[in-house]
Amino acid sequence: MNRWRHHALAAYVGPYVVFMVLLQLVAWVKVENPLLPWWQQGPEHWVYPLQTVLSLGLIAFWWRNYDFRPLTKSTIWTGVWVGVVGLILWVLPAELNRRYGWECEWLGMTSRAKPGFDPTILEGNAGAYWASIFMRFVRLTVAVPILEELVMRGFLWRYLSNLDGNFTDVPFGKWHRVGVTGSILAFTVGHHVPDLLGCVIYGILISFVALRTKSLGACVICHAVTNLLLGCYVMETAQWGFW
């Protein structure tokens, strides 16, 4: 157990792998039938909390392997303002579709009303409704930013920058063309077609944060700010397909 606790590769990649494996449960269990119970109609309402708890548990288990520094006023504010810009650019194409009907899926100009995490399926039970939304925001603003930044910028970027050695030997945020490009492409591949352009742009923005601040923590903050604002946008507009 102690050996695994200090295993750098497992620490950076493990939480993400568990998260993605559990994500497949949604597709396996989900059945589009309004006569079925909620846990079959909307399995994301129990799978997502399970993902969140398990992935955060693994992050806590491996916490000593991570270095989020430097976290200064400057690096934090860089993460915050880039996170705000990232959110604006991410939702802009869909907002153009929503307001003006501009349609182009590859550019993200398409409706996000469905499919997605739609909490209205639980409106008949106020407790379950708000508990589901709360856990969705914890997943969105805590679990996802940490585990994605660990694997994309913390591991993959550095691994591709030093194929002949240990990725932990590469300082965080060190420029390497293959490392930067690979992390952006991997981040993009994990999303749906309407998000592809947004992923590329956001990958460039968060790579800028990594290069400028040399701080994994700043990248996590950037990601968390974007996701928090995205969650607020989704709740306001009912564009459930964004999450």
The chain-wide mean pLDDT, for the chain, equals 92
Q: What pLDDT, in 10s, does the model give residues 18-71?
A: 999 998 888 788 777 777 777 777 788 899 999 999 999 999 999 999 999 999
Q: What pLDDT, in 10s, does the model give residues 175-222?
A: 999 999 999 999 998 788 899 999 999 999 999 999 999 999 999 999
Q: What are phi and psi of 175, to 5 degrees?
A: -65, 130
Q: Point out the least confidently predicted range of 23-27, 231-235, 236-240.
A: 23-27
State residue 120's pLDDT score.
86
The answer on pLDDT for 223 being more than 90 is yes
Residue 97 contacts by C-beta under 8 Å, 6 or more apart in sequence?
103, 109, 110, 111
AA identity, residue 135 = M
Q: Coil, strand, or helix at residue 78?
A: helix
Average pLDDT score over residue span 216-241: 96
State residue 192's pLDDT score.
85
Q: Point out the least confidently predicted range of 102-106, 183-187, 228-232.
A: 102-106
The answer on pLDDT for 99 being more than 70 is yes
pTM: 0.93
Q: What pLDDT, in 10s, does the model give residues 123-138?
A: 888 898 999 999 999 9
* Start-end of H helices in the chain: 2-5, 8-29, 38-41, 44-61, 73-100, 126-138, 144-149, 157-161, 177-189, 196-213, 216-237
State residue 1's pLDDT score.
63
